[in-house]
Amino acid sequence: MRALPLEFASGVLAVALTVSAVAVVRVRLRQPSMYPLAPLLPMMGVFFVTIVVGEAFRVRQEGTRHTAPLATAAALAFAMTVACPQGTPAGYGSSLVVAVTAVAMGLGLVPSLISRRPIRLSSLATSLLGITVAALLFREIPISGGRTVLELQASWPPDLLALVMVVISAFALTVEVFLLTLVRAARAHAPFRRTFQDEFMAAFGLTAALSATGALVALAERPLGVVAIPLFLFPLVLTQFAVRRQSAIRRTYGQTIRTLSRLTEFGGYTEQGHAARVAELSLAMGRQLGMSERDVLDLEYAALLHDIGQVSLSEPIPGGATVLAAPADQRRIAHDGAEIVRQTGVLDNVAVILEAQTTSYRHVRELGEDLPLASRIIKVCNAYDDMAGSRPTVTRRAAAMERIHLGLGYEYDPRVVDALGQVLERYQSHPGARVR
């Protein structure tokens, strides 16, 4: 897969930060009288192991979002630690935080590399950049009278220090979300504003929890010692396993729908791969048109199941091309498919999309009917794939688009057709992309 410029840039920046931080730490290790690290070793060791374990059990959710709550909270606490358990001030700089976090993250990837699980390097890079921001804000950047938060905190009351820690953590995690949004929007060719809303809403609860946990661990280290690190991070362990379980359930749910979508293929009603191709095109167009993450998920499920109503036909349609069927047959297939989906009791939105997928766009333009955007997208994608086929030549692709343009504004939404053209053009311009 071709690396996107933003993903490449974030990776290069993360590597540069890591190399620079390690170099600074090496220089300071040669001056033990000025930079004593021995009192820090027990605390550093616990933080290091915690980050490694957190990264090893990183949660891989559907789509592009990978999270490691345990590792993130531990790294934030390390960035804002003010004193070692022995009472020695933790006067280390942000370079040590970045170096320890980066090396621990790298070591945490080993299980994924061994088991050949997918690794989202952009998620790792943005996580490291977020931790770097927190360390810089707390330990390096002067905020009053040329003094940093680390230098000022000794004269602050505990409640003010706790508040500042939470604010710094929240800001750093928001920067991480912002960077992830840039990468995801560029990858999916989606509007930045909509992508940021999705990322922010998805991360809001976890950001609040991580901000509070990181500050709590940093504050609790001084009176409790290193035992505070596992003690206050343990609830996040349970949270991480709960999120992993939920993510696994969602993946199983999606796989079940994809298997069900192939029922028409096994029965000889549609061509092999038709539902998957329509879903692929629909997802790309839905993101480009600015649909929310929740709506895109409904769109994917509806696109996969858009022909499920054909199982009620006594005789298959030649080639499974519903675009060539009579309007009454199209409506019956859509209705039967929606009724099948409604029987699940959990896909009501998908059923609404399926029922409206054959409705002409003129119902919106002339009658003001509320036709779901997802239905309009599936109608266009299904028509294109029915006419272009599984292995379209340049001539068949052109003929399919010409046929769709003949129904522009009457059968098909012009905005959706324009999005289809842009997606197909993008597929053709990328050598590694499959053209539909």
DSSP 260-279: HHTHHHHTTSS-TTHHHHHH
Distance CA 174, CA 313 (A): 52
- End-to-end alpha-carbon separation of the chain, Å? 18
Give me the residue label for tokens 């298959």. Answer: 316
pLDDT of residue 252: 85
Q: How many other β-carbons are positioned within 10 Å of the β-carbon of residue 348?
A: 13
Distance CA 105, CA 99 (A): 10
pLDDT score of 51 more than 80? yes
The pTM score is 0.79
Please report, to the nearest 10 degrees, the dihedral formed by the alpha carbons of residues 377, 382, 383, 388 taken in order. 120
Q: Report pLDDT digits (tens) over 74-130.
A: 999 999 998 776 666 778 889 999 999 999 998 988 888 888 877 777 788 889 999
pLDDT score of 432 more than 60? no
Answer whether 148's CB lies under 8 Å from 89's CB: no
pLDDT score of 227 more than 90? no
Per CATH, the homologous superfamily of domain 262-429 is: Hypothetical protein af1432 (1.10.3210.10)
Domain range list for the chain: 5-251, 262-429
Contacts made by residues 106-115, CB under 8 angstroms, sequence distance 24+? 107/52, 107/55, 108/51, 108/52, 108/53, 108/54, 108/55, 108/56, 108/58, 108/68, 108/71, 109/55, 110/56, 111/56, 112/56, 112/58
Per the document, the length of the chain is 436
Cα dihedral 399, 400, 402, 407 sign? positive
Cα dihedral 323, 328, 332, 338 sign? positive
**Angle ∠(117,113,234) on CA atoms, nearest 5:** 80
Average pLDDT score over residue span 41-58: 88
Average pLDDT score over residue span 40-69: 81
